[in-house]
Chains A and B, each alone.
Chain A
Amino acid sequence: MNIRWLIILCVNLLVYFLVQELNDALTFFGLNIYLASLYIVFPAIYLAPTQGAIVVLITSWVVDAPLPTPFGTTALLSIFIYTLILLIRHRIRHHMGAFILSITFFTNLILFLILTLIASNSPLADFAYWQTLGINLICSQAVLLLAAPWVLELEQTLFQLSGTPIREH
Chain B
Amino acid sequence: MGKSSVHARPLVLLGCLLLIWWFVPPFIKSFVQVNFFELQAPAWSAASHLKDLQLYWSLRNHSQQELIEAGRDLARLNSAYELSRQKEAALNKEIEHLEKMLNLPPLPNYNYEVARVTRRDINQWWQQLVIRKGKDHGIIEGAPVVYAGGVVGRIQKVFKNTAIVELISSPNFRIAASFEGDRRPVIYQGVGTPAFSNPRGIIHNVPPDYTTESTPKRLVTSRLGGTFPEGLVLGQVDELKARSDGLFQEGKVSLPQNLMSLSEVAILIPLDEDVDTTI
Contacts and interface: CB of A to CB of B under 8 A. Distances in A.
Sorting the interface of chain A by its residue count into under 10, 10 to 19, 20 to 34 or 35 or more gives 35 or more
B261 interface: yes
Interface in B5-45: 7, 9-11, 13-14, 17-18, 21, 29-30, 32-34, 36-37, 39-40, 43-44
18 contacts: A23-B120, A29-B196, A30-B122, A30-B193, A30-B194, A31-B196, A32-B123, A34-B123, A61-B36, A65-B33, A69-B125, A76-B21, A87-B11, A116-B124, A120-B125, A128-B191, A129-B191, A132-B193
B60 to A, nearest CB: 23
B124 A53 contact: no
A133 interface: yes
A61 B29 CA distance: 10
Interface string A47-89: 0011001000100011011111101100110011001001100
B192 interface: yes
A64 B36 contact: yes
B126 interface: yes
Contacts of A156: none
A17 B43 contact: yes
A59 B171 CA distance: 27
Contacts of A2: none
A128 B13 contact: no
Interface residues of B, number: 49
A50 B13 contact: yes
Contacts of A72: 21, 29
A129 to B, nearest CB: 6
A129 B33 contact: no
A134 to B, nearest CB: 9
Across the A-B interface, give the 6 residue pairs with the lowest CB-CB distance, nearest first. Answer: A32-B123, A86-B10, A121-B171, A65-B36, A65-B37, A119-B125
